[in-house]
Amino acid sequence: MGLRSLKPEALKLPPGTSDLLGCQRRHTLPASEFRCLVPEDAVSVFEIEREAFISVSGTCPLHLDEIRHFLTLCPELSLGWFEEGRLVAFIIGSLWDQERLTQESLTQHRPGGRTAHLHVLAVHCTFRQQGKGPVLLWRYLQHLGSQPAVRRAVLMCEDALVPFYEKFGFQAVGPCAVTVGSLAFTELQCSLRCHAFLRRNSGC
């Protein structure tokens, strides 16, 4: 009915070949992988971020040194999507300990905070329009929901992006106090209780 897999012995491979094949399989990069980012990923993160934001807003949410800063202090609040070892999309966050975002929240990580501040979500230009942004955000919120100390997520975005985030449970709470140059933003918040429940019941 179908092809029958053959063992190396059946193929009469030279001695030691099966061990070599096993070694190659162990070193094969996974086709798709989600993991927290580390400082060594900072350059790849910045390259994607710079391409995604400079042409649109003229500035990046995070500079390279700030990316390294957050990936050193709170790597568990980041998530990267890798295809065959190559970073294709990412989210970087940090903890915040106030009800609303302030200018200081752009660069600070407050370990005692219960709020995850999502600084940036970006997708490599080659992989856009493939639904990767929504998938990554959903996985990230589930990831946050598995961390008992984190109660909610907060972010700021331009008005055009508000409907996108509302699909994931974010609710607009009004204009954000943070400004970047001439850009103004809406602040959105999301309770992580439902995402924690989905995480516990998804088998992930």
Q: What is the pLDDT along the chain (204 residues), one digit of tens a residue?
A: 444 333 333 334 445 544 543 444 445 556 899 999 999 999 999 999 999 998 777 788 999 999 999 999 999 999 999 999 999 999 999 999 999 999 999 999 999 999 999 999 999 999 999 999 999 999 999 999 999 999 999 999 999 999 999 999 999 999 999 988 888 999 999 999 866 544 444 444
Q: How would CATH label the architecture of 32-191?
A: 3-Layer(aba) Sandwich (3.40)
Paired residues of 81 in beta bridges: 34, 89
Please say whether the beta carbons of 174 and 101 come within 8 A. no
Domains in the chain: boundaries: 32-191
pLDDT of residue 7: 36
pTM: 0.80
pLDDT of residue 110: 97
* Residue 61, both tokens: 């949410």
pLDDT of residue 74: 98
**Size of the chain in residues:** 204
b or e along 48-68 (b: 16 or more beta carbons within 10 Å of the residue's beta carbon)?
A: bbbebbeeeeeebbbeeebbb
**Class of residue 156 by CB neighbours under 10 A (exposed 0-12, middle 13-18, buried 19+):** buried
pLDDT of residue 23: 46
